[in-house]
Amino acid sequence: MAASFPIYAPSRYAGINLKKGYDKFIKHDDTVDEHLDGLLKTVMMHERTTNEAIDAHIVTWRGMMTKIMAAPYDNEPFEMNATLYRNCIFIEECCEFKLKKKGAEDRYKFETLCTMPRPWGETSREYIENRDEEIVNNKEQYCSVVRTGFGNTIVCLGGEVDAIWDAKPETPGAPINWVELKTSAEINHPADQVRFDRKLMRFWIQSFLLGVPKIIVGFRSRDGILTSVKELETMRIPFDVQSRGRVKWDGNVCISFTTKFLEWLRLTLRDEGVWRIRRAEGSNEIELFRVEEVGHGEIITDSFMNWRIQLGLIQAGKATQEPSPPQPQPKSPQSPRQKSRSRSRKDRSRNRSRSQNQHQQLVLRQSVLAG
């Protein structure tokens, strides 16, 4: 039976040129702003099977969460667009900002070398032995969608996955042994190890977010020749980096920071419109400001909003068929003094809530990136 996803199948490694064939590279068009379209389609497919809206507070791509988790140690700037719809915040990357960046293309050659479209027994010897001649193609991309959490915030994440370690389970929703494929400069000196340990933070974050248990790293020479391959256990990476003692990043700090950031975001972004989440070059602050007063921009598709309206009608129809709950007993009338005290308590509670929200924003701006 043919596999639905690429299968990890390592080939002979040493001496292969990772730059070979790039004159024929079939490249995914990154200039097209795809927003959250693919992720929202997957969410709709799931909701149609359950007739229940997912319980996420945040819906976004893994790349956005990676930038947030890395923020305490990484100075990379970023810009994202966000909008609030039915008590859920949807976040995408700002397309104009994304186009300024350049990706590492040798990784795609490494993926071609390390994967096959079918299991060994269903693949010809000719294909297996000539994978280094295959034209590199990153148009075919596979995504995993997961439900995860940071503190009290539930996050629905979608992210690209490279391959399966063994086989996709028959049971829907069962954990899948994904493999992340990465490339890095070979390590010849202590300074090379320091650079690699810094790079490992992003490798770990990306795999941690999607629950990918293994990362395969191909090491290349300055000329782009693959020299060696190393298998890493995702959950061991923070411990291994700390044991070497050269680079000081802590996975627990990344998780704690992300938890606080998402709490602040949910407290602060409470109105409609399109908002910008921005970290400027060299800044130790993350800004949040509104760029469009109404609507959702193109972050959320019309088909998704129409589906949620339809889903609301389905749930309302179910509610009318269910027996009515017992009616509460009428309360005794309050005296004018009791009403006054009640209003006073509510006013104090509202003022305290506003004060706390302002404090959360100030704390984030001043010290959330400290350290």
| DSSP string covering 206-257 | HHHHHT--EEEEEEE-TTSBEEEEEEEEGGGHHHHHHHH-SS---HHHHHHH
- Does residue 301 fall inside a structural domain? no
Amino acid (1-letter code) at residue 40: L
**CA distance between the termini of the chain:** 52
Which of the residue ranges 1-10, 214-223, 301-310 would you say has the lowest mean pLDDT?
Answer: 1-10
Q: Which domain holds residue 256?
A: 7-292
- The radius of gyration computed from the CA coordinates of the chain, to the nearest angstrom, equals 25
Which of the residue ranges 298-302, 312-316, 362-366 would you say has the lowest mean pLDDT?
Answer: 362-366
Q: Can you give the pLDDT at residue 174?
A: 75
Better-predicted residue by pLDDT, 11 or 264? 264
Predicted confidence (pLDDT) at residue 11 exceeds the cutoff of 60: yes
Predicted confidence (pLDDT) at residue 352 exceeds the cutoff of 50: no
- Does residue 101 fall inside a structural domain? yes
How many angstroms separate the Cα of 52 from the Cα of each of 111, 301, 311? 37, 19, 7
Query: 């079939």: which residue's tokens?
Result: 26
Handedness of CA 163, 169, 171, 175 (dihedral sign): negative
- Does residue 316 fall inside a structural domain? no
- Does residue 319 fall inside a structural domain? no
SS3 call for 54: coil
pLDDT averaged over every residue in the chain: 80
Q: Can you give the pLDDT at residue 104?
A: 57
Predicted confidence (pLDDT) at residue 16 exceeds the cutoff of 90: no
> Helix crossing, 62-70 with 251-268: angle to 10°?
110
- Does residue 245 fall inside a structural domain? yes
How many angstroms separate the Cα of 337 from the Cα of each of 33, 333, 350? 59, 12, 20
Q: Can you give the pLDDT at residue 203?
A: 97
Predicted confidence (pLDDT) at residue 119 exceeds the cutoff of 90: no
Q: How many CB atoms lie within 10 A of CB 352?
A: 10
Categorize the per-residue pLDDT at 18 as very low, low, confident or very high, splitting at 50, 70 and 90.
confident
Q: Can you give the pLDDT at residue 335?
A: 47
Better-predicted residue by pLDDT, 46 or 321? 46
Q: How many CB atoms lie within 10 A of CB 72?
A: 20
User: In this prediction, what percent of the chain has a pLDDT beyond 90?
Assistant: 52
Cβ atoms of 206 and 162 closer than 8 Å: no
Q: Can you give the pLDDT at residue 2?
A: 39
Better-predicted residue by pLDDT, 267 or 31? 267
Total tally of structural domains belonging to the chain = 1
Amino acid (1-letter code) at residue 192: D
- Does residue 277 fall inside a structural domain? yes
Give the closest residue to 261 by CA, choosing from 153, 158, 354, 371.
Answer: 153
| CA pair distance 233, 48, nearest whole angstrom | 36
Query: 């040493």: which residue's tokens?
Result: 14
| CA pair distance 85, 31, nearest whole angstrom | 26
- Does residue 166 fall inside a structural domain? yes
pLDDT (tens digit per residue) in 164-215: 887 777 777 777 889 999 999 999 999 999 999 999 999 999 999 999 999 9
Predicted confidence (pLDDT) at residue 17 exceeds the cutoff of 80: no
- Does residue 317 fall inside a structural domain? no
Segment 138-153 shows an average pLDDT of: 86
Which of the residue ranges 25-39, 244-258, 292-306 would you say has the lowest mean pLDDT?
Answer: 25-39
Segment 297-305 shows an average pLDDT of: 95
